[in-house]
Structure 1
Amino acid sequence: MTSVNDVRTEEADDKPSGYAAARLRLLQGEARSGPPRRSALAELTDDWLTELFGAGTPGAGVSLVAVGGYGRGELSPRSDLDLLLLHDGSADPAAVAALADRIWYPVWDLGLALDHSVRTPAEARKTAGDDLKVQLGLLDARHLVGDLGLTAGLRTAVLADWRNQAPKRLPELRELCEERAERQGELQYLLEPDLKEARGGLRDATALRAVAASWLADAPREGLADARRRLLDVRDALHLATGRATDRLALQEQDQVAAELGLLDADTLLRQVYEAARTVSYASDVTWREVGRVLKSRSVRPRLRAMLGGRSAPVERSPLAEGVVEMDGEVVLARAAKPERDPVLPLRAAAAAAQAGLPLSLHAVRRMAAAARPLSTPWPAEAREQLVTLLGAGRPTVEVWEALEAEGLITRLLPDWERVRCRPQRNAVHTWTVDRHLVETAVRASELTRRVGRPDLLLVAALLHDIGKGWPGDHSVAGEIIARDVAARIGFDRAEVAVLATLVRHHLLLIETATRRDLEDPATVRAVADAVGSQGTLELLHALTEADALATGPAAWSSWRGSLVTDLVKRVSAVLAGDDPSDPDAPDAEPTAEQERLAVEAFRTGGPVLALRAQTDAVPSPEDTSEAAEPEPQGVELLIAVPDQPGVLPAVAGVLAMHRLAVRTAELRSLSLPEEWGQGARPRKEESGRQEGRSVLLLNWRVSAEYGSLPQAARLRADLVRALDGSLDIAARLAERDAAYPRRRGVVAPPPRVTVASAGSRLATVIEVRAQDAPGLLHRIGRAFEVSDVRVRSAHVSTLGANAVDAFYVTGPEGAPLPSEEAISVARSLEGALQTSHSGA
């Protein structure tokens, strides 16, 4: 036994370098990738470790065992080596320790990550009993070198322990999986997913192997091996592209990983990852449901059998719909059901399952997918009704829809679905992939069906509103064409098809108009009325807008946005009812009492007046859309009144940026003061000596502190006074701040874009700005307008995630809209100014 203490010979010292060279050649070779490369890397490592173990080591009583991923032969370029040095306890402890050093140190010398342990079989089993993760690793134990009988004995004992303890350990494993999913999210929807830890990733695939090894239940095997292989291939490419042992597929690395795999682009890569994750997630759902059912039956049925005198308890089958029954907590097909003669059966079973809040049996879905005949075109009325019923069932619709999709039934019913299936949305505002967003919108719309006269049209429009995202160009335009075809195929009549097409074409109209246009401008309201066409369509579009925003994510909807949309709908409804929009020459809407007070005070004092007011928005969470949802703080509302003068917008925006206040929304409008408001006030004089016009600029801002507490209103006002009189150099202060706090490195944002909205208003020229949100952005926009000698009549600013989406109503010095060529010139100048700051940031 003393031979294991021998110092390594010079020949042995050369072997690690030989392994390193061979490993490098293998990883750099283009001929082999995927499973062949992983197997070859595992085999090469096996041979190296066998040599390190040493021919002089006694064969009895000691063995080297690979566990975990290495035990499965799945070695990615930067994978850990999971090793167990197993001994029977008869060897000299010093000799065992020396043998361990003989193996561990060369691994560390090469910079390879190593997860190692030295145990007897009894110690290994005890540790596995105490630590579920250790037990999972030992389930994949593979003998490398040494005493084969010792390894085989441990494998047999560990598997026996696992199967005997399955009723206790499987619930623990399920809880681990759920906790991990809660922390890491769902792989099939994440823009920067963790390939291993997120739900539907490699950890879950390994958990399914463990469930199968328990003999208690088994996962749906179809497609599971391919999904696991795809995720491993992506991880291999990620390791090679980054040179790091990472499982997170970061945005900045996705193009390189896609190229490594020979894929077209990063979107193609993400779509493949999402498809694989969806397969693993669905298999997990089915498997854990089966585990729960088996464990429940083991605890309940023996008692029932005893009560029945030893006879087996009958299985209850409760009818749900024609050919559909509930059995043992799932929806299955009735014995008399004949899917080959009943093409509506898949939709009927799905609708029944969703209405009952029960999962569809895997066996039932597969039987229908294999046997059901295609629906006729147009669909029979029952099929259309069952689809609407499925979409209107609320939250249970999601699980049922996923079951149909897993077996290809959705794309068979709706062939256009294939283009949006698992399609990523590279926008932080969006929570879901395109297809899941469509289903989620239908779920949200189901909660609003009592608000509309045609809930069926609302639900189908929700399902189709983004269907054009799988095609080039404007997805609303492409979606309108697809929606017409799908609606006709489903069986809607010509008038209904036209309404659905209008809803899909204009599903963004209300939210974009309400947040980016001046609702006091009659051209705005009339343009929406012309696009919508009828009160019924407006009612549906209002509900669809809310459902779409709620399904997008928390940043896309708030009570403030909802109030703007509601205001717009009321104005459009009045026009559709026959009322004319307000006269372009009519005075602005009556100000509130607080706005009137601030305006009068600003006029009397000749300087800015500020008011801060805390705000909250009841933003429903994805699981709670009730009006009683707990309000979330949304910063503060800042009201500012300033006597009308040039430079107000850049001055206010710059002061807010100096004080590290993030602007979430902003509105600006000019208010003319009646004579009776300013009685007793001293009129301000221009340099020429004549009295200035009686107008005040009202700014309504919603702001929040980037960090720390909000500044005092008095400090804001003092700096604003200095900014307006020119004694405060805001540009220099902001430049100093940017120099002191450089931006973090990350994904390069797309360049800003400035456009002139055609026919946006008859009173002003509408200039739209799309840019990456950043401190001082609104200040730079305001300065650019001042340089171009245009006045901002009103502004509508909003921030969606990291994107600023702003609309400015501007006029020339005399208050008239800009001529077309001048408007284009102003837009180009503004875009140039923003691009300069964008490239320098």
Structure 2
Amino acid sequence: MSGLVAELGASYGAQRARLLARPGPSGPGRRRALADLTDSWLRGVAGAAPGWDDEGLALVAVGGYGRRQLSPGSDVDLLLLHDGREGVSAVADAVWYPVWDAGVRLDHAVRRPAEARAVATEDLPALLGLLDARCVAGDDGLVQALRAQVLADWRAAARRRLPALREGCRERGERAGDVAFALEPDLKEGAGGLRDVHCLRAVAASWVADRPHGDVDGALEQLLDVRDALHLTTGRALDRLLLQEQDAVASRLGLADADSVLRVVASAARTVDYAADVTWRRVERVLAPPRRGLRLRRPPRLVPLGGGLFEHEGEVVLGDGARPDDPVLPLRAAAAAAQRGLPLSPGAVARLAAAPPLPDPWPDEARDLLVALLGAGPGTRAVWEALDQEGVVTALLPEWAPVRSRPQRTAVHRWTVDRHLVETAVEAAARARRTDRPDLLLVAALLHDLGKGRRRGDHSREGAKIVRPLARRMGFAPVDVDVLCDLVLHHLLLVDTATRRDLDDPATAAAVAQAVGSAQVLELLHALTESDAVATGTGVWTDWRAGLVADLVRRAGAALRGEQPGPGAPREAELAEQADLVARVAEDGAPLLTVRARGRHHAVTVVAPDQRGLIAAAAGVLALHRLSVRSADMRTRPAPSGEGADVAVDTWLVVPEYDDEPVADRLREDLVRALEGRLDVNGLLDRREAARGPVRVPVQPARVEVVPGASGSATVLEVRAHDRPALLHRLGRALSLSGLDVRAARVATMGAEVVDVFYVVDGEGRPLTDDRARETARILRDVAG
């Protein structure tokens, strides 16, 4: 008998290998074929087991195997169900061991029906698995009876257990993240992933509320296809789609590249997530207790909202007065729902999808309603997503399609391009009262990254090309079209300039003033810049960046008016605080150092006689103390008396790697030792880096550019590179060894990338010649890797 079992296992292994090697992408057919092949093998194994009986014994497939959704690396989930007979453990061993011997991942249990039923009443994952129970071999009547009992128990206890299932979904989603927006999504556990689909099946089985079908079923198959390709590509049972696997997975699926597979995943996950929102909303409505003193619920009321729209049970619905031939109806319904913080009912959204297209140009009402929708703030999110799921958004704005679910491969971006645009509009709504044209701010926020849908050129320039005809079609006046195009074209201007250029250099403010052209655009751009940064991700818009941008806006505004900018109140207070330190350093020549907490960051201010190598020494000391630099502002001040050496004032925003508070006295002591040559900073950092071992994650090569026209008194070098310990120290040391002085510097760390900008002069205090600038750029490129 053992020879027969071995023969069955070998045959199964060979047929399974041929099935998985079949050319072409995976799909439901291959998953069912794999499940059927496994069924056939296990029936043979069970039938050969000593003591097997087709009455009172059943081999049961549960979970994904029960649903015939067997992926190449999936566990085979089996339950040996029995009627309480003796010797069942020997039968179980006779089934389990051949499965293990075949190298198949097995999740198994042996239970009587009453035991399985009891486990399902306490354990939600076990319940979800049994809802899909299917007899593979043996007594099908035993399995059907158990499944009926489990379903009856679930339906009887659903009102009590559904909130726990909902909370479990929420906690799991928060832990694993959003499948739609992660760069490395967890296809199974993440919000909008496979687990959520199975939970929706459980809700439908409870009879408390049905789930949307159609698109959800298609989304499930897409997610399973991607997981199959991941298993086949890696040879492992992975659920997280790692960056290094995405190109190969895309190729196996017949897609162009890694971005394409992420778009498929994002689109499918958003469909699942939207269905989950709708379903759980229905559940909550059913489970909501009646008002106190009322034994029966009152009939739901229709609250008129105007224009044929009504509020009904917490949703906006369409009444008989809503004309299906009205092209403005989708925006009217969306604005009404968002302004009241209500969702659109799924039925209403389906009807809105059939509305005729808007004329060209749009009527004024349509444009005003779009602004009202965007101005609703947080209420915009759910309404926009509902419209997007039914294709209403791309019908209104065909330019939206190329950015829909498009991933952004930067660590600082939390969202896909389209969701980021919506989030920016939500943030802009909170800042709309700061401008005299909130409509232009909101529309620019929604459109500012449309250029990312094109795979060519600078996305700001490409976006401005897209927005011009779009804004005309929306019915904006020509002067407003120009403003919208300027906002899209320059939406990165303020933050890039403020964090990478010396604000004290008159050329900086003059360049910004020339680019924006008017006070109105500058005001709108300021609000858009803040909205864009806050919507990007946590920690992108810091007090430091906000202060720099505000200072730049003030200076550029003065330049537009033909005035000389004063220091400004915040800057004036900062300069006054530093003046005493500068005076003391100029008098006795000893460096001073202060530390101030700024939330989870610390501001380390170094005031010292200006000297070559100061930046390298300070950066090295911070690295030795395991303080990661997030940003830095370095300036040179003349001595207060007008005589003697200049004084450097460097402010570093740092984060402790191990939550150890930086101690000013210890930092100052090590800085003095480093400047005097008594502390070998470079050697200590080299030994620490060698102890860490080589970096195994592939990174893009560094880019160093000479920025023409950025300053009239210095050469500006911009370094973009992957962040690594002590990089700033090594860059500063390279400049010092090259005989160059750093007049000012701006440092910014964004996720895993750094942008370091140095204003350098030669030993005579002059800008570098072209040849020397190019050579210096080459040196820095070698250092940054």
1:432 maps to 415
1:301, distance to aligned residue in structure 2 (A): 12
Kept in 2: contact 1:522–1:581 (CA 8 A) = no
2:328 maps to 344
**1:633 counterpart letter in structure 2:** R
1:450 maps to 433
Find the partner of 1:669 among 607, 616, 635. Answer: 635
1:522 aligns with 2:472: no
Find the partner of 1:407 among 377, 384, 390. Answer: 390
Q: Where do 1:285-684 residues align within 5 Å?
A: 285-296=277-288, 303-304=295-296, 313-340=298-325, 342-370=326-354, 372-471=355-454, 472-580=456-564, 592-612=575-595, 614-616=596-598, 632-634=599-601, 636-675=602-641
Q: Where do 1:135-154 residues align within 5 Å?
A: 135-154=127-146
Find the partner of 2:667 among 716, 730, 733. Answer: 716
Segment of structure 1 superposing worse, 295-304 or 386-395: 295-304
- 1:19-77: per-residue Cα shift (whole Å, max 9, x none)? 22322222223257222221121111111111111256222111111011100011111
1:595, distance to aligned residue in structure 2 (A): 2.5
The 2-side partners of 1:526 and 1:638 are apart by 30
**1:29 counterpart letter in structure 2:** R
1:104 aligns with 2:96: yes
The 2-side partners of 1:137 and 1:742 are apart by 45
Please, which runs of 5 or more residues in structure 2 have no aligned partner? none
The 2-side partners of 1:141 and 1:564 are apart by 62
The 2-side partners of 1:329 and 1:674 are apart by 67
1:339, distance to aligned residue in structure 2 (A): 1.6
- 1:323-368: per-residue Cα shift (whole Å, max 9, x none)? 211111110001222222x110000000000011111011011012
Please, which runs of 5 or more residues in structure 1 have no aligned partner? 1-7, 306-312, 617-631, 679-692, 836-841
2:735 maps to 785
The 2-side partners of 1:715 and 1:336 are apart by 75
**1:491 counterpart letter in structure 2:** G
RMSD, matched Cα: 2.1
1:725, distance to aligned residue in structure 2 (A): 3.1
2:41 maps to 48
Aligned-residue sequence identity (percent) comes to: 56
The 1-side partners of 2:603 and 2:695 are apart by 29
- 1:262-295: per-residue Cα shift (whole Å, max 9, x none)? 2211110100000000111111111111222233
1:706 maps to 657
Q: Where do 1:22-421 residues align within 5 Å?
A: 22-30=15-23, 33-54=26-47, 57-89=52-84, 91-92=85-86, 95-296=87-288, 303-304=295-296, 313-340=298-325, 342-370=326-354, 372-421=355-404
Segment of structure 1 superposing worse, 594-603 or 450-459: 594-603
Query: Normalising to structure 2: TM-score of the pair?
Result: 0.96
**1:84 counterpart letter in structure 2:** L
The 1-side partners of 2:139 and 2:651 are apart by 79
**1:812 counterpart letter in structure 2:** D
The 1-side partners of 2:670 and 2:65 are apart by 64
- 1:248-272: per-residue Cα shift (whole Å, max 9, x none)? 1111221222222222111101000
- 1:665-712: per-residue Cα shift (whole Å, max 9, x none)? 222222111338x8xxxxxxxxxxxxxx43122222122322252454
The 2-side partners of 1:536 and 1:13 are apart by 80
Residues 261, 31 of structure 1: CA spacing in aligned structure 2 closer, same or farther, 3 A cutoff? closer
The 1-side partners of 2:767 and 2:312 are apart by 69
Query: Normalising to structure 1: TM-score of the pair?
Result: 0.89
Q: For 2:491, what is the secondary structure of its paired residue?
A: coil
Kept in 1: contact 2:307–2:321 (CA 8 A) = no
The 1-side partners of 2:140 and 2:650 are apart by 80
Q: For 2:754, what is the secondary structure of its paired residue?
A: strand
Q: For 2:295, what is the secondary structure of its paired residue?
A: helix
Q: For 1:199, what is the secondary structure of its paired residue?
A: coil
The 2-side partners of 1:299 and 1:592 are apart by 62
Kept in 1: contact 2:39–2:136 (CA 8 A) = yes
The 2-side partners of 1:209 and 1:251 are apart by 31
Kept in 2: contact 1:467–1:479 (CA 8 A) = yes
1:823 aligns with 2:781: no
Segment of structure 1 superposing worse, 726-735 or 35-44: 726-735
The 1-side partners of 2:475 and 2:28 are apart by 48
The 2-side partners of 1:302 and 1:602 are apart by 78
1:17, distance to aligned residue in structure 2 (A): 2.7
- 1:288-321: per-residue Cα shift (whole Å, max 9, x none)? 112222334889998347xxxxxxx543111113
1:628 maps to none
Kept in 2: contact 1:321–1:348 (CA 8 A) = no
Find the partner of 2:5 among 12, 20, 29. Answer: 12
- 1:719-745: per-residue Cα shift (whole Å, max 9, x none)? 323322334333222111111122553
Find the partner of 2:648 among 682, 690, 697. Answer: 697
- 1:544-587: per-residue Cα shift (whole Å, max 9, x none)? 0110011001221011211111111111111222314699xxxx
Kept in 2: contact 1:526–1:581 (CA 8 A) = no
2:682 maps to 731
Kept in 1: contact 2:303–2:312 (CA 8 A) = yes
Q: For 2:600, what is the secondary structure of its paired residue?
A: strand
Structure 1 stretches of 4+ with a deviation exceeding 4 A read 297-302, 580-583, 588-591
- 1:604-626: per-residue Cα shift (whole Å, max 9, x none)? 333422222x222xxxxxxxxxx
The 1-side partners of 2:576 and 2:293 are apart by 71
Kept in 1: contact 2:612–2:740 (CA 8 A) = no
1:825, distance to aligned residue in structure 2 (A): 2.7
- 1:615-648: per-residue Cα shift (whole Å, max 9, x none)? 22xxxxxxxxxxxxxxx321x2222222222221
**1:334 counterpart letter in structure 2:** G
Structure 1 or 2, whichever has the larger Rg, is 1
**2:779 counterpart letter in structure 1:** S
The 2-side partners of 1:806 and 1:151 are apart by 66
1:406, distance to aligned residue in structure 2 (A): 0.4
Kept in 2: contact 1:753–1:770 (CA 8 A) = yes
The 2-side partners of 1:73 and 1:719 are apart by 66
Find the partner of 1:769 among 700, 712, 719. Answer: 719
The 1-side partners of 2:715 and 2:118 are apart by 77
- 1:56-109: per-residue Cα shift (whole Å, max 9, x none)? 6222111111011100011111111111111122x22xx211110011112222
**2:17 counterpart letter in structure 1:** L
Aligned length: 779
1:374, distance to aligned residue in structure 2 (A): 0.5
The 1-side partners of 2:766 and 2:145 are apart by 91
The 2-side partners of 1:438 and 1:651 are apart by 42
Segment of structure 1 superposing worse, 595-604 or 253-262: 595-604
The 2-side partners of 1:300 and 1:180 are apart by 34
